[in-house]
Amino acid sequence: MQRPLDVLGAAVEKKILVKTKDGDTISGTLKAFDSHINVWLDDAKVLGDKEMNIGKVLIRGDNIVYISPEK
């Protein structure tokens, strides 16, 4: 039986997109996650009109709407 968090298990060391509750979209390489869906990204960028490189970042799970591995 598959579980939703298997999406993250299969995406470690791969690029993902994270949409946050306040509307930011952040891309980066998934390094680690936990059961709260807290995620650690490397080489992260906040996308948008003013793209911002933020490098390593910890995003709090309960402020995340969705996470999508890059194709």
Binding region for its own copies (CB under 8 A): 1-8, 17, 19-24, 26, 31-34, 37-40, 44, 54-71
> Considering only CA atoms, which of 43, 6, 2 is closest in space to residue 26?
43
Alpha helix (H) residue ranges in the chain: 6-9
Q: How far is the CB of 49 from its own copies (least distance, A)?
A: 14
- CA–CA separation, 68 vs 71, rounded Å? 9
Q: How far is the CB of 48 from its own copies (least distance, A)?
A: 13
Q: How far is the CB of 26 from its own copies (least distance, A)?
A: 7
